[in-house]
Structures are given as C-alpha cells and as structure tokens.
Structure 1
Amino acid sequence: MARMKKLSPVDALGPAFRRAREVMAAPFRLGFFLKIALVAALTQPGFYSVIISYPVQGVQAAAGAAIRHRAVMNFSGVDGLAFAGPAAAAGFVILTIVLLIGLLVWVLATYLFCRLRFVLFDLVVYRQGKVREAWSKYGRQTWRYFGVVLLASLAFLVLLAATAGPFFVHMLKMAARIGAQGTHANPLSMLGAMLPFFGIALLVGLAWMLVDAILQDFVLPPIAIEDAPIEGAFGRLLALIREDFGSFVVYLLLRFVVALGISWTLMVVVFLILAVGGMGGLAVGFGLYRAMWHGGIGLQVVFVAIVAAMALVLIGVYLVAMVAVYGTVAVFKQSYAVYFFGSRYARLGDLLEPPEEEMVGVRIEPPLPPLPPLNEPPPVW
C-alpha cells in the first residue's frame, strides 16, 4: 500500500497552493468563494481585530476628546471630594460592566473560531464545500480544543499582565504627569515610558501567534480525524518535534513568511482598488455637491442620501475585500499545514492522497482467443 511520501517544508508549498485553489476556486464561483473565504477568515483572530478596529478607534477618539476638554476641578475642597466619590463609584461600576461584557464576547468569539477551525479543516481535507455538514460533525471535539485554546489564552493574558503591567502603569503615570505640565512637557519622556510596554506586548503577541499556530496545525488534526484525547494529540506533536525538529522550525518560519507575503500583496491590491474607488467617489460627490447643494432643501436631502449610499457601498467593498484577503490566507495556511503534517501523520496523509492497492506476485494472463463456431473446422496451425 503506497502512502504519501514525506515532504520537506519547501516541498509542501506547491501542494498547498494547489489545494487552496481547488478548495476555493475550482471552478471559480463568486458566491462559493466568498462562503469559503468567510468561514476561513473567521478562524483568524486578526480578522476580528479588523472588524472591531473602527469601534475601538471611535472609543479612543472620544476618550482623547474627553481628556483634552476635561474641566479643571479643585478636589482639595469639600465640594470636589463630594463629586469625586460618586463619580469614581460610577466609573468603577461602568468599567466592571464593560469588562464583563468584553469577557463574554471574547469567550464566545473564541468558541466560534475554534468551531470554525474544525470546519475549515474539513473543507480543506475533504474538499466537499459543505459548511453546514462540517459544522455538525465536530461538536464534541470543539469543546476539547476550545478548552485548550482558552487555557492557553488565559495563560498568555496572565503573562502579559505580569510582564507588561508595571510598564503600563508607569506609562499612565507619565501621561498624567506630562498632561499636568502642559506645553512645557518633554515628549521624549513619554516615548521612553511607552517603548518598554509596547516591546514586551509585541514579544508576548508573537509568542501567542506561535502557540496558536501550533495548536491549530498539529493539535487539532488528531482530534478531528480520530477523536484523539488532548494527551494523545499533544503526544503526537511532541513525537514530531523530537523526530524532525529542524523541519518543524523551518515550517513555522515559512508559514509565517509566506502567509505574510500573500497578505501584503493582496492588501496592496485591495487598497489600490479602494483608493481609485474613493477618489472616483470624491470626484462624483464634489460634482453632485456643486450641482445640488444650492438647489433647495429637497436636493440637499437627495445629495446626503446619495453620499451615504456611496459610503455604504465603499464600506461594503472594504468588508468583502477583507473577507477575501483573510480567507485566502487562512485557506493557504490550513492547506500548508495538512500537507506538511499529513506527510508525517499517516491517517491525515491517507485522507489527502488515498493509498493505492499494490498487487504483488499476481500475474494476469492475456485472454484466450475466442473459439470458432462448432460448424466450422478448427484452424490449421
């Protein structure tokens, strides 16, 4: 029985690209492509960051405006203390509610992308394109994997708080001190307070990306294929590291570099398209403004409606483009993972390339010539 041959990290790139094309675009159908891309994009934490970045930026802008325009209050008197007490209590309650809601959303989002990672694995390995069936197959397995991801996430949050927390507090104190100094403050002192915090946060974030990739690429497949327990999945991972540590490290490096190159290339194309569309929209909007704004209240309302519709179309194009970019990168990474790991994990390799039966020692004789009819004399040799 011929099995899948062992692939180096470089050799696995070609089959990975072919698999990604087969899963998403063979043949290309826009609706099907976007369906697979959306499922794949939702397995990437970075995609959630893109989706929620605008609300977060809005909150940051509002907070900055509040700080810049805060009222100068004297808390040394009784009136100041009387106001500070209820305000601090209300702020604490609001902060607690926001943190609880954020924690709930984070847990739900973590379960969602864990479940969808099984769906993506199924779509890449079996190439059936049936999201609903893939979703229904891995309910029990998802809880096992979700527990591992959740524990790992909490461990990294504790690590981040322990390592970067003191620098964050120092940064806040420095910001308050600089704000009290007004225009005479030295901005370099704030930069010096920010660099350690962001440096540690970056290192912890890179470590989490590495652990998350290992969990998705090497712990999830045994759970999905053979319903392996957690210790069995980690045992297979440790065996792979012991036997082929060099290829394991090169694979992780190539996974990051190639995926980053694909992402940047697609992002450049997307932003060029959006820039051209945005400039065209500005030109059309300026022309409509010149033609309609001074024509009365009715034309002004129509102009505002047209501009709002154009803005919604641009936002819709942006969201679809982000789905396409993150989805394409996610499908490639999953394809790369299954081919690299499948060449070392027989159960997965047999699903990617089903083995052909080899018949050893069996000789097939050619068929005998047909006999002549009974009423004809036999041929003379």
Structure 2
Amino acid sequence: MRVYSASEAIGPAWEHTKALMWQDRRWGRLLKLSLVAFGAELGTSFNFNVNFGNGANNDRVAASILVAIAAVALFFGLLFFVVFLYLGSRLQLAQFDILVLRDSMVGPAWARHGRQTWRWAGLKVTIMIGVLVVLLPLLIPAIPIFVAFLKAARPVAGAPGHFPTLNWPVLLVAFAEVFAIALLAIMLIRFVTALVLPGVAMEDLRFGAALRRGWQIFRADVPGMLGFAILQPVFLFLLGLGLIAALLLVLMVLLLPFGLVGALLWTFVHTSGTAAWVLLGILGVIALFVVGAIWTVLYVASAGTLLMFARAWSLYFLGGRYPLLGQYLQPSPAVPVWTPPPSLPGDEDGGGGPGFPADPALA
C-alpha cells in the first residue's frame, strides 16, 4: 500500500466509507453502521459535575446528606463510566473490523474481540491519564486566577452576596487557557489511540507492546504524523459545522409544508370552538413527530457516516506505515500475508468469534 499524506488519505478513506455505508442505499445497514460509529465514541470522555452549594450552611445533618448524595452520585457516575467505556471500547474494535474487512455484519465483529475489550479499555484509560499528567502543568498559571476568583465570590457573614470584583479579562484568559488545553488533550488522546488500536485489534498486542508499536510508527514519520494530528481535527470540525448547517436547513424545509398547512387550518378553525383546537393540536403533534423522526434518521445517518469516515481516514493514513494494516486496505500479492496467532478457547461472553482471516482477499 502506498504511503498517503494526511490530505491524500482523505480521498480513499471517503470512497471506502461511501462504498461501505451508502452502497445500494440500504437504510437499515446504514443506520446500523452509524449506530456502531456513535457507540464507538462512548467512554472517550466523561465529566463529573457535583454542586455542593455555597458553604454558608454548616449544619452537620445537611452536610451528611450532601456527602451521602455525593457518594451515590459518584458511585453511579463511575458505574456509567465503566459501562460506557466497555461498550465504546468493544464497538471501537468492532468498527475497526467492519472497516478493515469491509464487512457490514456487526455480530461477528462484536464477538471477535470479546477477550481484548478490557485490555483495550484499560489501555485507553492509561493513555487518557498519561495525556492529562503531561498537560496538567500547563494549567499552573491559571490556578492563582481561579483561587482569587473563588475568594472574591465567597459571601461575607451578615452581608448579602455580592458579585466578585476581579480583573475579568484575566479571568477570561484563564478560561480560554483551560479550554485550549482540554481541546489539546482530546486531540492527543484520539491521536494516540488511533496509533495504538491496529496493534491491539490485529496483532493482539499487550499494553507495552502496543504502545511501542505506536511509538515506532510515529517516530518513522514525525512531520507527517504531526501534520495529520493537526489537520484531521480541524478538517472534521469544519465538516461538522457544515453538517449542522445542512441539517438545520433540512429541518426548516421539513417544517415549511407543515407550517403552511397549520397556518391554513388555523385560519378556518380558530373560531370554531374547543373541538377544532383539539384537532389542530393533535395534527400539530403528529407533524412534529413525523418531522422529528425524519430529521433524527437523517442526523444519525449523516453524523454516523462522518464518524466512520474519521476512523477510515486514520486507517488509510496509517496503512502505508503499517504493512499489515495496509495489506487489508489495499491487498497486494507483493506483501507477505499475515498469519494471525491462534485464538484462545473462548472469552467471557462464551463465544470468542472467528479470528481475523489470514488471507486479506477474504476481507
């Protein structure tokens, strides 16, 4: 497989995605694969936001209640995070197989990676923690600003609450710094996981081996890797904005005929009593349901296609630098055929699924 630059990989990745998802215009398959693409994003990030009040009430009973509520919220938050992390990790591995093997059947792809899911989930969490540890020192300049803001916002005993007096431009700069570092963290996490995923999915590599394989690929073409890490999120962000604008336009087009019919009916029945108003309300609810259903289907299909394209773009960019992956994306008899390691007897799901085919021509 030829080595594509970040921009050159866009074309084949889009053709690959279009052939997989939009061939024959089968909406059932399209929506199924779109849901897989959405599910593959689960567990990528998770936020805990618990508000403990302003600290003015020091009553022990109230404090105990707040602590209990916080503990329950933390427990269920962690539970949901683990569930989403598992589902997202397994669907990410299934999405990888669907793209590489050009097979729209989700069941075999889901079953194939059962025993790898927790390892891949743990590796993703390790990457997230590593990126945060590296980037957290960049937040040090913003800490004094937020501390000063919190002190200024603290209410004075016996006095009504007041608006904090602070240098607001400086505070906005601090928020901008936090926002920029958060975006950088998301970009780095997605980039590193894209480098590591093929080794886990195709070669069943463990933690250290998968990270070393990703580092080898990165080190072999540092300028190209950095260009891809910058270009992909910017390009996808612009595509996302275009998609949102197009979907809003479609929504207005869908609402227009129903709005015209509703206005026409209103001119005839608004003076006809309660029964006419009830009928008009029922027709309005039906119209909103129909428009909402059509728009939701279009959103899932288009956004799912964009997410699947993003993964395919990463694969085609890495394919020329990872011969095993490239042999599946663009099979060539000149490249030796990879023989997968023997599968374990089963996994925690009791299936295990078929192994990766030894012959890329079967993909």
Q: Give the alignment's TM-score, normalised by structure 2.
A: 0.75
Amino acid at match of 1:336: W
Write the distance in 2 (CA, Å) between the matches of 1:135 and 1:189.
Answer: 53
Amino acid at match of 1:125: V
Residue 334 of structure 1 is aligned with which of 311, 324, 329? 311
Question: Which residue does 1:150 correspond to in 2?
Answer: 125
Question: Which residue does 1:251 correspond to in 2?
Answer: 228
Write the distance in 2 (CA, Å) between the matches of 1:47 and 1:220.
Answer: 14
Amino acid at match of 1:339: Y
% identity of equivalent residues: 28
Q: SS of 1:129's equivalent?
A: coil
Matched, 1:108 2:83: yes
Question: Which residue does 1:241 correspond to in 2?
Answer: 218
Amino acid at match of 2:102: R
Q: 1:170 to 1:259 in 2, by over 3 A?
A: same
Q: 1:303: Cα distance to partner? A: 3.9
Q: 1:156 to 1:317 in 2, by over 3 A?
A: farther
Q: 1:99: Cα distance to partner? A: 2.6
Question: Which residue does 1:33 correspond to in 2?
Answer: 30
Amino acid at match of 1:334: R
Matched, 1:13 2:10: yes
Question: Which residue does 1:267 correspond to in 2?
Answer: 244
Write the distance in 2 (CA, Å) between the matches of 1:265 and 1:252.
Answer: 21
Write the distance in 1 (CA, Å) between the matches of 2:31 and 2:11.
Answer: 23
Q: SS of 1:86's equivalent?
A: helix
Q: Deviations over 1:106-158 (max 9, x none)?
A: 22112211111111111111111001111111111221110011233455677
Equivalent pairs, count? 328
Q: 1:94 to 1:231 in 2, by over 3 A?
A: same
Question: Which residue does 1:86 correspond to in 2?
Answer: 61
Question: Which residue does 1:362 correspond to in 2?
Answer: none
Alignment of 1:70-85 (within 5 A): 84-85=59-60
Q: More helix by proportion, 1 or 2?
A: 1
Question: Which residue does 1:379 correspond to in 2?
Answer: none
Q: 1:247 to 1:354 in 2, by over 3 A?
A: same
- Structure 2 unaligned regions, length at least 5: 336-363
Q: What is the alpha-carbon root mean square deviation over aligned residues?
A: 3.8
Q: 1:160: Cα distance to partner? A: 6.1
Amino acid at match of 1:151: T
Are 1:174 and 1:190, in contact at CA under 8 Å, matched by a contact in 2?
Answer: no
Alignment of 1:200-211 (within 5 A): 200-211=177-188
Q: Which has the higher contact order (CA 8 A, sep 6+)?
A: 1
Are 1:6 and 1:343, in contact at CA under 8 Å, matched by a contact in 2?
Answer: yes
Deviates further, 127-136 or 199-208: 199-208
Alignment of 1:144-293 (within 5 A): 144-154=119-129, 171-172=149-150, 174-175=152-153, 180=160, 185=163, 189=167, 192-193=170-171, 195-196=173-174, 198-278=175-255, 281=258, 284-285=261-262
Write the distance in 2 (CA, Å) between the matches of 1:172 and 1:302.
Answer: 54
Are 1:267 and 1:325, in contact at CA under 8 Å, matched by a contact in 2?
Answer: no
Are 2:152 and 2:166, in contact at CA under 8 Å, matched by a contact in 1?
Answer: no
Q: Give the alignment's TM-score, normalised by structure 1.
A: 0.72
